[in-house]
A and B are shown apart, each in its own frame.
Chain A
Amino acid sequence: MSGFLAGLCVAALPLLAAGFWLGRRTARSPSLGGLGTPVEHATFETLHTASLAAPPLRAGLTGETARKSVRRLRTLLGTDALCLTDQDTVLAWEGAGEHHRDQIMERLAGPLETGRGEAFRLDCDEPYCPLRWAVVAPLTVDDRVYGTLVACAPRESAVLVRAAGEVARWVSVQLELADLDRSRTRLIEAEIKALRAQISPHFIFNSLAVIASFVRTDPERARELLLEFADFTRYSFRRHGDFTTLADELHAIDHYLALVRARFGDRLSVTLQIAPEVLPVTLPFLCLQPLVENAVKHGLEGGTAEVDRSRISITAQDAGAEALVVIEDDGPGMDPDRLRRLLSGEVSPSGGIGLSNVDERLRQVYGDDYGLVIETALGAGMRITARLPKYQPGVHPASPLTRD
């Protein structure tokens, strides 16, 4: 009997799951349909179709995105056939009469040149072909023609000309947004490059000065420090790949700290607590080192009163599908309001673009949920927490872990 119950439970679970899924799928349209007057209903429907067609186009105008969106666009226009073209070819054709492809491409030279819409008659040998007439509406971004939207119909219709024009304008806006996305990505890439080049000149001068001071008294130490310096700069000036592994980043931090410690000696103490499970985690290149640098600056250099000793702790914990990295210093801390303004870019930071840049890059790569969490107050030190997902699509380390 109990075995029967168990089987029933196991059998019922997938059914329940399927029912839940179906329910969620079907719940949407009726809830829209029951709302408002027929006119409002039609408006909702149109807006809904339009919103469904938008996401693919946000990736730009390519064969695949065109294919995904053209079906929704045809629903929006209600024509017999609709096609999206770029400057040379038909990207996607939805509806009847695909044999008109070439004919339409021939007629597009004009609109592509001028960026103005056009309507023309289609000649067709096939007796049952419903397409006799085509409306061309160009897709333009910043006065550049990216492609066209062509709606085909059995007869002339001013309404269709107008509607096709509006839809084309709407598609153009989406493409413009895609352009914007691309330039934002480029901007961030540029920022990363900027950050790479941003090993502060002070750091280089200070390091070289420290090394110089050891050359006579302790040549062996000087040699070691030079090697650390070489390793750190090699890592920082690396040109390829946007991502690295936590292990490599920690090694870079180690080289950095060796140089800093040579300068400050006993005044700086660093404790590490690192879960070996998270060392293979991939993360944006040079996104923890600036945080450590920040902690060092805060603890020893920053603030008005010179601090005698500073303790920094670096922890990396395993937390399910994420790694939790915490960098803590016991320096003078910071006014939270000032920090907030600093992070939102209202105030330009005094030294380096560290925190806000790291925060922005983490958000860019992992989404807004994964920004830095900073806990601080005046006189209370600072604690920076970064959450790094163990897996994120498209995030791969550029080079392997150091083998040991």
Chain B
Amino acid sequence: MNENYAVPAVALVVVATVFVGAFGLRISRTTSDFYVASRTVGPRLNAAAISGEYLSAASFLGIAGLVLVQGPDMLWYPVGYTAGYLVLLIFVAAPLRRSGAYTLPDFAEARLASQSVRRLAGAFVVGVGWLYLLPQLQGAGLTLNVLTGAPKSLGGVIVAVVVVATVAAGGMRSITFVQAFQYWLKLTALLIPALFLVLAWQGDGAPRHAFDEPATFREHRVVRIDAALDLKLTRPLTVTADGTVDGVRHESDRVRLPAGVHRIERGTRLTFTKGDPVPIADRGSNGGMSTSLAEGREERPLYATYGLILATFLGTMGLPHVVVRFYTSPHGVAARRTTVAVLGLIGAFYLLPPVYGALGRLYAPELTLTGDADAAVLLLPDRVVGGLGGDLLGALVAGGAFAAFLSTASGLTMAVAGVLTQDVLPSRGVRHFRLGTVLAMIVPLAASVLVGGLPVADAVGLAFAVSASSFCPLLVLGIWWHRLTPPGAVAGMLVGGGSALLAVAATMAGFTGTGTPHALLAWPALWSVPLGFLTMLLVSLATPGRVPAGTAAILARFHLPEELAGGQVRTEAKA
């Protein structure tokens, strides 16, 4: 990877983001352009903005990494990330818009007229936001590390500083344009290199054994092990080792490793020859971009898959940065149209990462050993195309990856900072919004610097699980069930979301051991979502006296088209 191209590309993306954000709307209009100046955001532009904000590091880097390491099972991730919008479209989009709520706490207050529900929803917004920010910062660190060899925390710090600076300075004024721009940038940054990669793959004779088990090296390859790991061999293997293997020091010796588990120490170089099967790395809890969750998956594959599906299908509607974007739609129908467009845009985008994953399995299988599987997208252009073209394509991908970190991180930071300013920090004002911004970013930044953490896509999956168990019951029951009460909502969010959060914490801390308990805690959505729903239903039924006054009117407003709810059919305006 040539950093001479990649670093300017990343810098360009950062500058372009700040520029579009700050000056996208600075064009003044005279009154003759009134209708242009005051046109509402159309569904397509808004959809591009939502997609831009939504497609995070997990989508851009993580999915390809997971497909590379674990094969086609992982295609449930892109499917789930997309299908979440289908659930959102059917159950939530239009009523949420008609509720007039800007954030999730606003919705809680609008529906249940209760300050305590509002505060609890705010707390969960902050929790989900922080959980989601963590992998963005990690992904940035990884990207910069792969590109330039900088320390792993530096990329995260850069993204954090850029985001806090622009958001706090009010530089994200034309956020819709920034995010829409980021979507097209991300799509381009994956699409063009993917075309070249596929062409190169065709030129290579289109090898089709991408998902043969196990993957094999297609050429002579030196692998440097950055963190100590246990190598599981199903068959004996002969490698050239330079370093410590099973406690024995080797200096470029040919070593024959029998089948079984072998301990490879940090800094060891292993040289594989063409045709060698890629061994499976077993990393325990020693950090790095480990695949700890994958173990639960291997033991209970069906359970894990359903857990993932439920979390991603139902979690999307509770993502704070997605919800606020629906406010921009002028009415409920536009919100629905926007969601349909989002489905199309995201669906198109998600065709690409699996391509990278599959090609990565062919051309960069050793990434499963070094633990940098998430970097597959970044490394492939150089590896497959090579030369100047590879460098340029690599730079494009790197730029796209940074666009992913910046857009998602800025959206999340604004959402979290908004909640912190409104509901947590004492009084209002611009100073407090700045303080809130810093606070919103400093916690995940500290966490990402302190810990190596989880694979990017897994960490995002956990954020989805918490969101699905807390906000999904609140939104769905709030919109569709007239007997929901404030105590029911509080209890449901606490039990569902709280248990998911605890499971997440236990998983991240590595308390979970192995087997069934690990699978249960690593994929909590399958039990925590029904638990949340059930608690909310039962407690609501047990407190029938607390149904807020005016519930019928509120629900009518959620569901009736605006023309009817307004009490008159508006005469068509002259335009």
Contact = CB atoms under 8 A, between A and B. Distances in A.
A258 B451 CA distance: 61
B510 A4 contact: yes
Contacts of B571: 234
A279 interface: yes
Given A280-B328, A320-B418, A400-B566, A4 B38 contact: no
B566 A399 contact: yes
Contacts of B15: none
Interface string A374-404: 0000000000000000110101111111111
B438 to A, nearest CB: 14
Nearest to A2: B451
Interface string B316-353: 00000000000111110000000000000000000000
Interface in A349-396: 369, 390-391, 393, 395-396
A280 B327 contact: yes
Interface stretch (B25-33, B192-200, B374-382, B532-540): B25-33
B367 to A, nearest CB: 20
A205 to B, nearest CB: 23
A8 interface: yes
Interface in B485-509: 498, 501-502, 504-509
Interface stretch (A10-18, A150-158, A179-187): A10-18
Contacts of A247: 38, 40, 330
A280 B102 CA distance: 10
Select the residue from B100, B103, B173 with max chain A CB neighbours within 10 A.
B100
Contact of A404 (B39, B173, B290, B510): B39
Given A7-B511, A399-B562, A403-B330, A272 B37 contact: yes
Interface string B30-70: 11011101111100000000000000000000000000000
A36 interface: no
A305 interface: no
A227 interface: yes
B414 interface: yes
A403 B127 CA distance: 37
A49 interface: no
Interface in B518-575: 549, 557, 562-563, 566-568, 570-571, 573-575
A250 interface: yes
Contacts of A261: 31
Interface in A239-256: 240-241, 245, 247, 250-251, 254
Interface residues of A, number: 60
A79 interface: no
B467 interface: no
B161 interface: no
A235 to B, nearest CB: 10
B287 interface: yes
Interface stretch (B106-114, B238-246, B249-257): B106-114
A42 interface: no
Contact of A276 (B35, B41, B292): B41
A313 interface: yes
Nearest to B436: A320
Nearest to B290: A3
Nearest to B329: A280
B101 interface: yes
Interface in A269-304: 269-277, 279-280, 282
A39 interface: no
A240 B417 CA distance: 37
B38 A6 contact: no
B268 interface: no
A187 to B, nearest CB: 24
A27 interface: no
A63 B428 CA distance: 35
B498 A227 contact: no
Given A276-B328, A396-B557, A6 B103 contact: no
A35 interface: no
Interface in A24-40: none
A240 B113 CA distance: 24
B447 interface: yes
Contacts of A134: none
A244 B22 CA distance: 29
Given A231-B574, A240-B568, A320-B433, A3 B452 contact: yes
Select the residue from B176, B328, B563, B573 with max chain A CB neighbours within 10 A.
B573
B175 interface: yes
A272 B38 contact: yes
Nearest to B545: A67
Select the residue from A245, A274, A321 with max chain B CB neighbours within 10 A.
A321
B501 A2 contact: no
Nearest to A315: B28
A52 interface: no
B30 to A, nearest CB: 6
A9 interface: yes
B29 A272 contact: yes
Contacts of B173: 275, 317-318
Nearest to B428: A369
B509 A7 contact: yes
A61 interface: no
Contacts of B562: 397, 399-401
A234 B509 CA distance: 64
Nearest to A224: B574
A7 B502 CA distance: 9
A104 B103 CA distance: 49
Contacts of B38: 247, 250-251, 254, 272, 274, 276, 279
A275 B25 contact: yes
Interface in A317-363: 317-321
B508 A390 contact: no
Contacts of A240: 567-568
Contacts of A11: 502, 505-506, 509
Given A3-B292, A276-B328, 20 more contacts: A6-B453, A7-B508, A10-B504, A10-B508, A11-B505, A254-B34, A258-B31, A270-B30, A271-B30, A272-B33, A273-B25, A273-B28, A273-B29, A319-B170, A319-B433, A391-B100, A396-B557, A400-B331, A400-B566, A401-B330
User: Top 5 closest A-B pairs, CB basis?
Assistant: A7-B509, A400-B562, A6-B451, A10-B505, A399-B566
Interface of B: 25-31, 33-35, 37-41, 100-103, 106, 109-110, 113, 123, 127, 131, 170, 173-176, 285-287, 290, 292, 327-331, 414, 417-418, 421-422, 428, 433, 447, 450-454, 498, 501-502, 504-511, 549, 557, 562-563, 566-568, 570-571, 573-575
16 contacts: A2-B452, A261-B31, A272-B37, A273-B27, A274-B29, A274-B38, A276-B39, A277-B175, A280-B328, A313-B28, A391-B103, A393-B110, A399-B570, A401-B331, A403-B330, A404-B35
